[in-house]
Amino acid sequence: MPDKPIIFNDPVYGFVKIPFGRVFELIDHRYFQRLRRIKQLGLTYLVFPGALHTRFQHAIGAAHLMGEAIESLNSKGEGITQEESEAAIIAILLHDIGHGPFSHALESTLVRNVNHEEISTLFIKELNEIYSGELEMAMSIFKGKYSKKILNQLVCGQLDMDRLDYLSRDSFFTGVPEGTIGSERIIKLLATHNDELVVEEKGIYSIENFIISRRLMYWGVYLHKTVTSAENMLVNIFKRARELIKNGEKIFATEALLYFLQNEVKLSDFSDNKLIINYYASLDDYNILTCLQEWMNSSDVVLSRLSTGIVERQLFKITMQKDPIDQDLISDYREKVISKFNISEKEAEYLVFNDTTENSAYDPIEPKINILFKNGNVVDIAEASDQLNISVLSKPVKKYYLCYPKEIL
């Protein structure tokens, strides 16, 4: 265990200090080092070339912000102890440890009906065993069950360190300056009221800006048309690979990936078979993309075309609109790919597909972002804002889209 704080160079914050030796040990663990090989924004780099930052960087950045937030709250008289501070930093450090590669796309494809929070819990439990129960408090905070509620909220809430870091970081690496949020300022204005996290009155405009920036990042980056197209292509690649394997075809894959393609792994399987978590722990962007490269040469035209699309960036065209896609258009395009690629009607569904996407920037359901006024009143930002815009922002926006290879045009 190192005897003094470890410092990382971080392009976003300049420097990031890891104050506790235990935290440093966790960073050194192979489960955590794995996050170096998992990009935060999956395939987004195909549109924003700088978006190569990893969940490793994000987790450390969020842990850094947690330290700042606790220091800020303690300077206002909140008595968060050393032990709690370390636990909260560990909780946020590990909050995403269960993320798999390209998880936005593959979360429900590789592992059916298991989300990354559940897998994070599995990893944290495992680490807790390794460290003889020393991570109990961190685990309790991670699960939102710790007695000092604000710590839970700093890990998971409308204004948690996860969001503050990922918005800053994603904005930075995509090169989208409009996504800049004043995370430093927001953290300095955090306060507590009845053991709930609140923001001081003079932070109202920063919070409005935070919500608007988040929305901008959603539509401008996370749900960017071309990224949406790429992610759906990736999902179809793995559906197809699974299908081919089921049909008895031999497919290039690493041992771990093959396991998940051959089996329909459920959450309970992880507990029953220790091997699975190790397989899962060896999945990353590198072996996924390596498989795609090999699949470019597959004799299966669907798998080959889709894989080439991702590897050589021959992405599908995408039409996105407020109204449902015309069913005739879909049929027309499907017929075109059937004749173009000489494939079956069922196979055509891999190459011409439609779906919807939805987002609401501020979720009006609890927990809210509460503003603490100087007179002691606490009011939800949706009401505290001088204007109605924030409450209007809460309305989800739904969009319909259709993807298809440009060769058929």
Contacts to its own copies from residues 137-176, by CB under 8 A: 172-176
Work out which of 393, 402, 403, 408 binds its own copies, going by CB under 8 A. 393
Instruction: Decide whether 131 or 218 has the Cβ nearer to its own copies.
Output: 218
Of 111-119, 152-160, 287-295, 342-350: span binding its own copies (CB under 8 A) = 287-295
| Least distance (Å) between residue 216 CB and its own copies | 5
**Is residue 301 at the binding interface for its own copies, with CB under 8 A as the rule?**
no
Site string for its own copies, 27-46 (x = CB under 8 A): -x-x--x--xx-------xx
Q: Judged by CB under 8 A, does residue 75 bind its own copies? A: yes
Window 204-233: residues binding its own copies (CB under 8 A): 205-206, 208-209, 212-213, 216, 219-220
Judged by CB under 8 A, which of 254, 263, 304, 357 binds its own copies? 254
Q: Give the chain's largest Cα–Cα span.
A: 72
| Region 93-122 residues binding its own copies, contact defined as CB under 8 A | none
Show the tokens assigned to 380: 């939800």
Contact call for residue 387 and its own copies (CB under 8 A): yes
CB 50 within 8 A of CB 41: no
In the complex, least distance from residue 68 CB atom to its own copies, rounded to whole angstroms: 11
Q: Which is nearer to its own copies, 68 or 84 (CB)?
A: 68
Cα–Cα distance for residue pair 183/64, rounded to 1 Å? 12
Record the tokens describing residue 284, joined without a space.
């990353």
Q: In the Cβ-directed half-sphere of 407, how many Cα atoms lie within 13 Å?
A: 16
Q: Which of 125, 188, 239, 340 binds its own copies (CB under 8 A)?
A: 188
Please state, in angstroms and as integers, the Cα–Cα distance from residue 130 to each residue in 82, 89, 247, 290, following that order. Answer: 22, 18, 41, 32
CB 182 within 8 A of CB 206: yes
373 is a site residue for its own copies (CB under 8 A): no
Which range touches its own copies (CB under 8 A), out of 108-116, 238-246, 288-296, 335-343? 288-296
Q: Which among 59, 60, 80 has a CA at the least distance from the CA of 69? A: 80
The answer to whether 79 and 197 have CB atoms below 8 angstroms apart is no
CA 340/CA 343 separation, integer angstroms: 8
Question: Token pair for residue 56?
Answer: 């490793």
Which residues ranging from 306 to 345 are in contact with its own copies (CB under 8 A)? 311-313
Using CB under 8 A, pick the residue from 121, 140, 226, 282 that binds its own copies.
Answer: 282
Q: Is 4 in the site for its own copies (CB under 8 A)?
A: yes
Pairing of strands 353-359, 397-404: antiparallel
Q: How far is the CB of 207 from its own copies (least distance, A)?
A: 10
Q: What are the structure tokens assigned to 195, written together?
A: 């053991």
Taking each helix axis from N to C terminus, what angle separates 116-130 and 82-94, rounded to the nearest 10 degrees? 130
**365 contact partners, CB below 8 Å, separation of at least 6:** none
Q: Give the contacts of 402 (CB within 8 A, at least 6 positions apart).
A: 318, 319, 325, 329, 330, 333, 352, 353, 354
Segment interacting with its own copies, rule: CB under 8 A, options 47-55, 111-119, 151-159, 268-276: 47-55
| CB-nearer residue toward its own copies: 152 or 174 | 174
Q: How far is the CB of 76 from its own copies (least distance, A)?
A: 6
Quick one: tokens of 143? 């699960």
* Intra-chain end-to-end CA distance of the chain, in Å: 61
Helix (H, G, I), strand (E, B) or coil at 54: strand
Q: Considering the rule CB under 8 A, would residue 389 count as an interface residue with its own copies?
A: yes
Q: Is position 63 an interface residue for its own copies (rule: CB under 8 A)?
A: no
| Count, residues near its own copies per rule CB under 8 A | 74
Q: What's the Cα-to-Cα distance from 297 to each of 241, 269, 300, 312, 405, rounded to whole Å?
A: 13, 33, 8, 13, 18
* Interface with its own copies, residue 286, by CB under 8 A: yes
Cβ distance to its own copies smaller for residue 172 or 270: 172
Identity of the residue, 68 or 347, whose beta carbon is nearer to its own copies in the bound complex: 68
Q: Of 2, 7, 266, 383, which one interacts with its own copies (CB under 8 A)?
A: 7
Q: Cβ closer to its own copies: 33 or 344?
A: 33
Q: Within the chain, how many helices (H) and strands (E) appear?
A: 21, 9
Give the nearest distance from C-beta 185 to its own copies in angstroms. Answer: 7
